[in-house]
Amino acid sequence: MKSYLDLIGQYGRVHKKKNRITVWCIAIAVCLVTAIFGLADMAVRAQTIYQINSQGNWHLIIKNIDEEKAKLIGNRVDVAVSGWVLQGSNGILRDKPLAFVGMNEALAPEMTLVLQDGFYPQKSNEALLNNLAMKQKNISVGDTATVTLPNGEQKEYKIVGSFKDMSMLLKADTYGLVLSESGIRAIADKNFIARYYIQFKHGANMRKAIDEIKDNYHLSEDQVSENAVLLGLTGQSRNSYVMYLYRTAAVFFVMVLTAGVLMIASSFNMSVLERIQFFGLLRCLGASKKQVKKFVLTEGIHFSLNGIPIGLLLGTLILWGSCAFLKYVNPAFFGDMPLFGISWISLISGVVVGFLTVILASLSPCKRAAKVSPLSAVTGNVGQSNVLQSKRAVKTMHKRVEIAMGIHHAFVSKKNILLMTGSFAMSIILFLTFHVTVDFMHQAIQPLKPYAPDISVISGDNTTSLSEDLFEQIKNNPGVNRAYGRMFAYDIPATSTQGDGKINLISYEKNQFEWAKKQLTEGSVDEVVKEEDKVLIVYSDDLKWKKGDRIDLEFPSGEKNVEIAGILSSSPFDSAPGTQTVICSEKTFKKLTGKRGYTIIDMQMKKDASDETVSQIRNMTTSQMRFSDRRQGNKEAKTAFYTYAIFIYGFLVIIGSITVFNIINSMNVSVSSRMNQYGMMRAVGMSGKQLHRMVTTEAVTYAVCGCLTGCILGMPLHRFIFHSMITSHWGLKWQPPFVVLVFIIGVTFLATFLSVIGPVKKISKMDIVNVVNAQ
Amino acid sequence: MELLEVKNLCKTYGKGDTKVEALKDMSFSVSKGEFVAVVGESGSGKSTLLNAIGALDTPTSGKVFIDGKDIFSMGEEKLTIFRRRNIGFIFQSYNLIPELNVEQNIIFPLLLDYQKPNRKYVEEILEVLGLRDRKNYLPRQLSGGQQQRVAIGRALITHPMLILADEPTGNLDSKNSNDVVTLLKAASRRYQQTILMITHNKNIASMADRVLQISDGILTDLGGRAE
């Protein structure tokens, strides 16, 4: 030993177990901060990748400006890529609708255009065609294709390459032709839309640049549109909703930091307090107050040096797990995302939180340790010099003594109860408020509904023109997992005693009735399936009818009467105000309208269904039908949902497990600090069961205080965040999150009871002889 | 009548070279109401003997009978309750519960037994121990002698048959030491209790009915008084 501070190492070697608890506590807090900030960082990155891949990598669009201004803007130092994009539709390629788009080659990859074959068009008579068009119309690179332009003229293009199908084109069942800028300008007329797209350089002050551009070129608000999501993700949006989100993020940031600080402070405080006597001994042996302070602080830094790397590693492992999941969900989108990515912001915040908290947390115990009187440390009575002493005696009058002692232990030091209640409450508040993001996710991103079709065949004129034969053919195709059609009759005049109006009558079959059961708020779906004059109605603000009402429907063939047997909260259909959506069985529909045949046939494909199968179905359709391939769009929707879900549920799982760890750790620390007292109590006759009850009471006291504080502070915060993230945007009213609250309180109490098991075992195994003779 | 009977008690710590025989085949008995002092050098095995008799520690072999009951044949829970009701402990380092006041510390074993303390008896003990004025004080507000008197009160409250005292005067000055032992002796006479007390102090040992000496784990009965 060269310095008295070397004692820290020696002490650590002897009290490995005790120190391990403190080190783990620091590690867990650092892991919480690292994982949450890392996940947030990765979420922003993943969302950015998703946005760029699905919407294009641009920040600003300007309309109606002249070439000269556009050029000046494009030449700004902070602009990375810019250029004109001209779009037009209503073209035809061999009987199929065709959309046109043209831009310069540099801009193309930024606008989600993925070249699959050949090269980008250079001359005005060169073009790229989407993959599906190439395949379906049997066109190869190098062929010439004759295209009907929107103005009716015919023009020949040399196809110099193909590009990857876009979900937008597939859904609309339209082909896409990509031209060079000169090519599109040659055919553009007033029906074409020209927009100037700008992508700023990474790290540029985009906010300032956008304002400058608007000012310098006198652009009105209508002329300029920003990519709010992408700007929001880079922290540069001024969109009021994004500002709300930033504010929410700031609240989360502060809460996570507080949780980390509280956890470390509480365990560190205990770790020092339980060794007050040891510090007294140091003082007795001649250590000055300053030296004791230095000892505690240095020891804290030692703990940090051990705990922080473990925390950083754990946090990063959680992060990698999430990234791996994302890559698995959509390798096409997130293929470029590094599996073992490092989030510097999370590592730095982890380190800062770890060190700062330990230093701050050790300041106060430092002072207390230094204050210990050398005399009290050596004259012996265990606990005499322990700072965890009460000023008042336990109230043993009305409670069993062990219960009274347990409660007393919890409240014995103001600081202790504050820290313990604080760390319990913080877990609850964190869980409650983070749970708002789940509601946010369900509002912001519609998860793929069970009824979402992969492919739809739609009657060209929205009548019941799709024959039942076609439906049977589709249904019997081996690649189709499920086919379900709907018949539509629009704007049927309806009268009833409650008021008149119009309805859209739609037929369901068994799959759709089954899905609709989830939306049923009143009545029965089965009655509508079985009985012919019964219908379901979809709730709307102007709905006057109730369950059991009878309505008269006026069909060309005569008046028919139906009864409302049930009310659905929502449906996938839109209707004009004053027009209600009424759903009936196919049998009822046929009986009421006298029509046979479907308006739309939806199908969900089997997982192994190939493009061949899709082509077969497409070939069954005629030009009077519309064909919509939504598979790619569905996949993108799924990806969008998963990118959010993985991070949001990731947050919640981390917070949940931190709650459990924190509680178990806190109880461990609290019990270790009173080990001697427990030994004494056992010596004078406290039984194992009584000890268990005493420790449980102490833990439950913390839990009750923590839950109460958590609810009192958490509810208004939940409301505030709900308002910022959801009410302000979707108008959804706040409701107390009782289910979430019950869940997290349940987890807290479960963890509390679990947390007692270890310490009680430790107490019952302890050597009483050593305790009672300890000096 | 024998209240305490110790038969062939052995306690060994460690193995091989580090093996220490703290108690070597010890046998003796103590009658009801007897005040026995145990003397011996530091490390001779006195505390080990006391802890084994009090069932705070388990011996390597041998048996201890208290009031005819083999205490090591009892289960943990039963033993705890037996100890609580029949053995009173007094430690050198008092071992009072810091959160409980004087009166609460004294009645603590009764509270653990969910019994209602007999007010009269509590007052009597406080009176005898000279703690009446300080019954609401917390341990840290008391002097060493006062704290030890509280510990004696705690040991007496359940009317235990046996009081085990491990150097109860070790931390006290000579006046306080004499007071404490006189008190202890008087109390035990009054309540017909058996006392087994470890002490280094020859004066105190001389106040005992019988003295046992332990040297290197071997017990010798010195009979009436210490030398």
Q: How many structural domains compose chain A?
A: 3
| Average pLDDT of the residues in A224-240 | 81
Q: How far is CA A145 from the centre of its chain?
A: 46
CATH of the domain at B196: 3.40.50.300
Kindly write down the DSSP assignment for every residue of A537-562, as one continuous string: EE--TT----TT-EEEEEETTEEEEE
pLDDT above 60: residue A385: no
Q: Are B147 and B159 in contact (CB under 8 A)?
A: no
User: Which of A656, A661, A654, A653 has the alpha carbon at shortest distance from A263?
Assistant: A661
Q: How far is B78 from chain A (nearest CA, A)?
A: 9
Helix residue ranges, H only, A458-600 = 468-476, 510-516, 525-530, 586-593
Q: Are strands A550-555 and A558-568 parallel, antiparallel or unpaired?
A: antiparallel
pLDDT per residue over A582-624, tens digit each?
999 999 999 888 888 899 999 998 888 888 888 888 888 887 8
Q: Which two tokens stand for residue B151?
A: 């510990």
Q: How far is CA A242 from the centre of its chain?
A: 16
Count other C-beta atoms under 10 Å from residue A378's C-beta.
15
Q: Are A120 and A150 in contact (CB under 8 A)?
A: no
pLDDT per residue over A423-436, tens digit each?
788 888 888 888 88
pLDDT per residue over A678-700, tens digit each?
888 888 788 888 888 999 999 99
pLDDT mean across residues, chain B: 86
| Least confident piece of the model among A355-364, A494-503, B188-197 | A355-364
At A125 the three-state DSSP class reads coil
User: Which of A681, A763, A765, A687 has the alpha carbon at shortest distance from B77?
Assistant: A687
What confidence score (pLDDT) does residue A485 get?
92
Distance of alpha carbon A228 from alpha carbon A237, whole angstroms: 6
Q: How many structural domains compose chain B?
A: 1
Count other C-beta atoms under 10 Å from residue A409's C-beta.
27
Q: Are residues A147 and A255 in the same domain?
A: no
Q: Are residues A215 and A259 in the same domain?
A: no
Kindly write down the DSSP assignment for every residue of A707-751, as one continuous string: HHHHHHHHHHHHHHHHIIIIIHHH-PPP---HHHHHHHHHHHHHH
Q: Are residues A173 and A278 in the same domain?
A: no
- What is the percent of chain A with per-residue pLDDT over 70, rounded to a whole number? 91
| Average pLDDT of the residues in A276-297 | 73
Q: Which two tokens stand for residue A387?
A: 């700072």
Does residue B3 lie within any of the structural domains?
A: no
Q: How many CA atoms lie within 13 A of A431 on its CB side?
A: 28
Residue where a domain terminates, one of A608, A637, A666: A637
Residue where a domain terminates, one of A610, A637, A664: A637
Asked whether the beta carbons of residue B144 and residue A401 sit closer than 8 angstroms, the reply is: no
Asked whether the beta carbons of residue A687 and residue B136 sit closer than 8 angstroms, the reply is: no
The full 3-state SS of B52-63, as one line of letters, equals HHCCCCCCCEEE
Distance of alpha carbon B126 from alpha carbon B149, whole angstroms: 9
pLDDT above 90: residue B4: yes
Q: How far is CA A220 from the centre of its chain?
A: 35
What confidence score (pLDDT) does residue A386 get?
44
Q: How far is A678 from chain B (nearest CA, A)?
A: 9
| A contact residues 449-508, partner B, Cβ 8 Å cutoff | none
Going by the DSSP 8-state scheme, the letter that residue A598 receives in this structure is: B
For residue B219, the enclosing domain spans 31-44+73-223
Q: Are residues A549 and A663 in the same domain?
A: no
Pick among A678, A681, A684 to test the B interface (most B CBs inside 10 A): A684
Q: Are residues A508 and A392 in the same domain?
A: no
Does residue A348 lie within any of the structural domains?
A: yes
Q: Are residues A25 and A96 in the same domain?
A: no
| Average pLDDT of the residues in B118-144 | 88
Does residue B168 lie within any of the structural domains?
A: yes
Q: Are residues A411 and A269 in the same domain?
A: yes
Does residue A2 lie within any of the structural domains?
A: no
Distance of alpha carbon A437 from alpha carbon A472, whole angstroms: 44
Does residue A311 lie within any of the structural domains?
A: yes
What confidence score (pLDDT) does residue A285 get?
67
Instruction: Pick the more confident residue, A619 or A640.
Output: A619
Does residue A6 lie within any of the structural domains?
A: no
| Least confident piece of the model among A271-285, A708-722, A749-763, B121-135 | A271-285
Q: Which two tokens stand for residue A98?
A: 């065709």
At residue A545 the predicted structure's pLDDT band, cuts being 50, 70 and 90, is: confident
Asked whether the beta carbons of residue A687 and residue B166 sit closer than 8 angstroms, the reply is: no
What confidence score (pLDDT) does residue A595 get?
86
Distance of alpha carbon A562 from alpha carbon A286, whole angstroms: 97
Q: How far is B141 from chain A (nearest CA, A)?
A: 10
pTM of the predicted model as reported, rounded to 2 decimal places: 0.66
**What's at A417, amino acid-wise?**
I
Q: E strands within A606-705?
A: 625-629
Q: Are A523 and A553 in contact (CB under 8 A)?
A: no
A372 and chain B: CB distance < 8 Å anywhere? no
Asked whether the beta carbons of residue A775 and residue B93 sit closer than 8 angstroms, the reply is: yes
Does residue B61 lie within any of the structural domains?
A: no
Q: Find chain A residues with C-beta within 8 A of B171's C-beta.
A: 379-380
Does residue A190 lie within any of the structural domains?
A: yes
| Average pLDDT of the residues in B25-51 | 89
Q: Are B151 and B124 in contact (CB under 8 A)?
A: no
Does residue B155 lie within any of the structural domains?
A: yes
Alpha-carbon dihedral A342, A343, A344, A348, rounded to 10 degrees: -120
Out of A382, A408, A684, name the one closest to residue B109 (CB).
A684
Distance of alpha carbon A406 from alpha carbon B165, whole angstroms: 29
Does residue B139 lie within any of the structural domains?
A: yes
At residue A572 the predicted structure's pLDDT band, cuts being 50, 70 and 90, is: confident
Does residue B153 lie within any of the structural domains?
A: yes
Instruction: Pick the more confident residue, A480 or B226.
Output: A480
Q: Find chain B residues with C-beta within 8 A of A767's C-beta.
A: 57
Q: Are residues A703 and A735 in the same domain?
A: yes
Q: Which two tokens stand for residue A742?
A: 């019950």
Helix residue ranges, H only, A99-238 = 131-136, 167-172, 181-187, 206-216, 228-233
Does residue B16 lie within any of the structural domains?
A: no
At residue A669 the predicted structure's pLDDT band, cuts being 50, 70 and 90, is: confident
Does residue A126 lie within any of the structural domains?
A: yes
Helix residue ranges, H only, A482-581 = 510-516, 525-530
Does residue B110 lie within any of the structural domains?
A: yes
Q: How far is B20 from chain A (nearest CA, A)?
A: 17
What confidence score (pLDDT) does residue A709 get?
94
For residue A317, the enclosing domain spans 12-47+242-446+638-773
pLDDT above 80: residue A83: yes
pLDDT per residue over A45-72, tens digit each?
877 888 888 788 899 999 888 888 888 8
Q: Are residues A202 and A247 in the same domain?
A: no
Distance of alpha carbon A669 from alpha carbon A290, whole angstroms: 26
Residue where a domain terminates, one of A579, A602, A637: A637
| Average pLDDT of the residues in A736-752 | 89
Which residues of chain B have a Cβ shorter than 8 Å from any chain A Cβ? 47, 51, 56-57, 76-77, 80-81, 83-85, 89, 91-101, 104, 108-109, 111-114, 136, 138-140, 144, 147, 154, 166, 171
Q: Which residue of A has its CA nearest to B90?
A: A684
| Average pLDDT of the residues in A510-536 | 87
What confidence score (pLDDT) does residue A197 get?
93
